[in-house]
Structure 1
Amino acid sequence: MRYLDWGVIAAYLLGVTWFGAQFGKRQTGLAEYFLGGRTAPWWAIALSIVSAETSTLTIVGTPALSFRGNFAFLQVVFGYLLARVVISVLFLPAYFRGEMFTAYQLMQRRFGERVRRLTALIFLFTRALAEGVRVFAISIVISIVLGTGEAISVVLIVALTLIYTFEGGMTAVIWTDVLQMGMYVAGAAVSLVVMLGKIPGGWHHAAAVASAAGKFQVLDFRTALNLPYTFWAGLIGGCFLTTASHGTDQLVVQRLLSARNEKESRRALFASWLVVFLQFTLFLVIGVLLWTYYGDYSLKAPQPMDRIYPLFVWENLPIGVRGVVIAAILAAAMANLSAALNSLASTTVVDFVRGVRDERRQMLWARWATVFWGIVLVAIGLVARSWGTVLESGLSIASVTLGLLLGVFLLGVLTSRVGERGAALGVVIGLASILWVRFETSIAFTWWVFIGSTATFLSGYAGSFALRESTSID
């Protein structure tokens, strides 16, 4: 009877690949390929931001967090909201002055070509590593369903995603994001209903048991820096993390630049927070229900813990329904992967090889850069198995270098005297600082972006005096 589920999954994967590839007929230049011609409505961009921000890491990793802990992760989401205020005030006005394809063109306007390429390189390195973890998360789901090894699982999903991303560009990314996000949220809702049906006493029993165990606890006001999910780490660390990821990381900035104007971009940014909050809450509830279910039946949790939700879906949902839900989880994976491929390709072409004037050759460069990064992500995904739980691994990898990007961007928009050499000095000292924190201290990863950006900003600003720099924003 598994053939019905496999048929549903195959039909979905082929269908969404075909759907995304149809947008390739509209791509006539880089503006259409990388920004969708700036025609997407704000609500579609908002849902696409959510897909970029969460993806399979949320679906696979978040239930595992509440299974072994509580709702404390939501404190980080509070910081996400504060970050959106900062981005809308500091970065969006700068991005919408002049036509930009990438976030790092702003750095060229402010500091020059070398700082632009330095920040673009930091993004490429960070995003490739973080996406490698997401690719591995995909392989967890596929290996459960098909019983295949990680290598075959990773290559299969990347190849299908490459087809429509290669052809359709950002327009395909945004609209497949919308379709796929609707799929995986609906799949989660179906899973939740099935879980409640399998727990004796349903929600009332689950809520009573979980409440007694402190599973619904959100706020933790402890000040220890080695705890990743406290109120202060969430509010401050989450704010800096999201200001960096949504204000300087091309994965999200590319979506913000795809809006028709600054007002719609801001509307999409704030609307995405509400969806993210509801989505994280949904998957944390699923984790608590799984904890209740496993406790009631004295079952042993699978290892690694990230397998717990997809394994429950595959083993407990009705035939046909489980195929839909697994397809929904793969939908989230493809949504994020397509976004990553497009943003990596756009940064590669626009910030490094856009000396080519012929639009036909530009498009050729863009498409083959997409293929190149697909191969790179497969390679990273295959070696990511030893990097820990997928959600925290993805966030911690990004946290190492996102602080450097945010520090340089803050130097650019908040100061007028810091020049190219001061900015570069800030990056070097910021990198040394965060590497020391990462390998020599027990400070939680939620603080890393705050520390890295602060070290970069302060050392860059102080260095500008030592280097006797004096410059101004163009």
Structure 2
Amino acid sequence: MINGRLVTIALLAAVLTVLLLAMYYFISTQNLTIGSLDWIVMIVYIGATVALGVWFVREQRTVKDYFLAGQSMNWFVVAISVIAALFSGISYLGAPTEVFVHDMTYAVSLLSFFIATPIIIFVFLPKFYRANLYSAYEYLERRFDQQVRTWSSAMFILRVLFYLALAIYAPSLALSAVTGLPLWFAIAVIGILTTIYTTLGGMKAVIWTDVMQFFVLLGGQIVIAWVAMSRIPGGFSGTMDIAAAAGKLDFANFDLSLTARVTFWGALIGGLFNNLVQMGTDQISVQRYLTAKDHREANKSLWFKLIVTVPVVVVFYLMGAVLFSFYQTYPDRLPDLAQQDRILPY
């Protein structure tokens, strides 16, 4: 066992070394101002992420340890992990871009969390815990038959394949924009590193990495917003005045037209069904609920998630208003980007 772990760690060290050397080569050819501190931050962050996977290898003694973290996680950690999983890089980059280009109408979907959360807590979770499951699709087999489980699992896997393509693409865009790395290489780096720590550390490594990444990414957005607003005349109020004058803070589009891009009702109803799917049946969420110590801890995690989600989503969308106001104040700094989702990492 010890020799096997040493071999695994040695292979990881080799892979990380190759990736970092390749990153250094690509970045050095771009003539970008990536200094020593930037390198230290990247290396420490990447190293900490992979180290979590290696660390939790030693705690895996059963299938339940690997897939459900031994059902040992407390409500706070589970809540943050679910938020981090559902709000991937797509949200961190996409929400600000939505407001920058359009307005805040899509943020109305936040209200649907107040409807979906009680339904999940009182309808879905009790059934999952009573059945002692490993996955939501295992419940379908017990309730119906194996064929239903197989088809449902297949559809989930197909959907997640498309979702993961976007989930990896979004942070890869940010990494490429900041470092100058070719996009394909940034995708490879993120894909390989993610596969390493999740495969080695199991669900416990996934959850703790979620927690770390949540605070790093959310903290990054808050810092970016604070720095940008400090350079806009009038600070926060001046920023909001500029955004409001351009209609970026509008959200009350009650149009009943079926051809409108986004309306209040469309965002609310669509958000409700989307959240019921993601929070109630999606294995990404269900597996995290089942890592809680017991049913009560899982319930607490969902209530806490509801409380935290509100300010988090507000930060996402206000970030777009801040960026719009900043570039209205300093139009000469607005890059000519072929991809609008690069506006935040730029």
TM class by smaller structure:
0.7 to 0.9
1:274 equivalent in structure 2: 307
**Structure 1, 79-88 or 27-36: larger mean CA deviation:** 79-88
Partners in 1 of 2:309 and 2:342 — Cα distance?
22
1:56-85 CA-partner distances (Å, limit 9, x unpaired): 111111110111122212211111221112
The amino acid across from 1:2 in the alignment is I
For residues 114-125 of structure 1, what are the structure 2 equivalents within 5 Å? 114-125=147-158
**2:338 corresponds to 1:303:** yes
**2:179 corresponds to 1:137:** no
Answer whether contact 1:72 1:230 (CA < 8 A) is retained: yes
**2:39 corresponds to 1:6:** yes
- CA offset at residue 37 of structure 1? 0.6
2:251 equivalent in structure 1: 218
Q: Secondary structure of the equivalent of 1:218?
A: coil
Answer whether contact 1:84 1:270 (CA < 8 A) is retained: yes
The amino acid across from 1:204 in the alignment is S
TM-score (norm 1): 0.63
For residues 311-322 of structure 1, what are the structure 2 equivalents within 5 Å? 311=346
Partners in 2 of 1:76 and 1:152 — Cα distance?
34
For residues 352-431 of structure 1, what are the structure 2 equivalents within 5 Å? none
1:47 equivalent in structure 2: 80
**2:188 corresponds to 1:149:** no
- Shift of the 95–228 alpha-carbon distance from structure 1 to 2, 3 Å rule, reads farther
Answer whether contact 1:75 1:229 (CA < 8 A) is retained: no
Answer whether contact 2:67 2:202 (CA < 8 A) is retained: yes
Equivalent position to 1:235, from 268, 274, 296: 268
Equivalent position to 1:105, from 132, 138, 155: 138
Unaligned runs of 5+ in 2: 1-32
Answer whether contact 1:71 1:215 (CA < 8 A) is retained: yes
Partners in 1 of 2:250 and 2:97 — Cα distance?
16
Equivalent position to 2:89, from 50, 56, 59: 56
2:291 equivalent in structure 1: 258
Q: Secondary structure of the equivalent of 2:345?
A: helix
**2:214 corresponds to 1:181:** yes
TM-score (norm 2): 0.86
- CA offset at residue 230 of structure 1? 2.2
1:218-263 CA-partner distances (Å, limit 9, x unpaired): 3222222333532222222111111111111101111111112222
**2:323 corresponds to 1:290:** yes
- CA offset at residue 198 of structure 1? 2.0
**2:190 corresponds to 1:172:** no
2:67 equivalent in structure 1: 34
1:270-317 CA-partner distances (Å, limit 9, x unpaired): 221222221121121111111111112224452311000101xxxxxx
Partners in 2 of 1:174 and 1:131 — Cα distance?
17
Report % sequence identity.
32
Answer whether contact 1:76 1:229 (CA < 8 A) is retained: no
- Ranked by relative contact order (alpha carbons within 8 Å, sequence separation 6 or more), the top structure is 2
Partners in 1 of 2:298 and 2:259 — Cα distance?
36
1:400-441 CA-partner distances (Å, limit 9, x unpaired): xxxxxxxxxxxxxxxxxxxxxxxxxxxxxxxxxxxxxxxxxx
1:384-407 CA-partner distances (Å, limit 9, x unpaired): xxxxxxxxxxxxxxxxxxxxxxxx
Equivalent position to 1:191, from 224, 228, 232: 224
Partners in 1 of 2:35 and 2:329 — Cα distance?
31
The amino acid across from 1:283 in the alignment is F
Q: Secondary structure of the equivalent of 1:260?
A: coil
1:364-390 CA-partner distances (Å, limit 9, x unpaired): xxxxxxxxxxxxxxxxxxxxxxxxxxx
Q: Secondary structure of the equivalent of 1:49?
A: helix
Partners in 2 of 1:87 and 1:32 — Cα distance?
25
Partners in 2 of 1:298 and 1:234 — Cα distance?
31
Partners in 1 of 2:300 and 2:140 — Cα distance?
25
- Shift of the 228–29 alpha-carbon distance from structure 1 to 2, 3 Å rule, reads farther
The amino acid across from 1:81 in the alignment is F
The amino acid across from 2:340 in the alignment is M
Answer whether contact 2:78 2:289 (CA < 8 A) is retained: yes
- Shift of the 31–228 alpha-carbon distance from structure 1 to 2, 3 Å rule, reads farther
Runs of 4+ in 1 over 6 A off after TM superposition: none
1:158 equivalent in structure 2: 191
Q: How many residues align?
A: 311
- CA offset at residue 89 of structure 1? 2.4
For residues 202-217 of structure 1, what are the structure 2 equivalents within 5 Å? 202-217=235-250
Q: Secondary structure of the equivalent of 1:96?
A: helix
- Shift of the 89–68 alpha-carbon distance from structure 1 to 2, 3 Å rule, reads same
- Shift of the 48–228 alpha-carbon distance from structure 1 to 2, 3 Å rule, reads farther
Partners in 2 of 1:164 and 1:121 — Cα distance?
25
Partners in 2 of 1:296 and 1:175 — Cα distance?
40
**Structure 1, 36-45 or 4-13: larger mean CA deviation:** 4-13
For residues 458-469 of structure 1, what are the structure 2 equivalents within 5 Å? none
Partners in 1 of 2:156 and 2:112 — Cα distance?
22
Partners in 1 of 2:192 and 2:246 — Cα distance?
44
Partners in 2 of 1:229 and 1:275 — Cα distance?
25
- CA offset at residue 115 of structure 1? 0.5
Partners in 1 of 2:316 and 2:126 — Cα distance?
34
Partners in 1 of 2:78 and 2:130 — Cα distance?
20
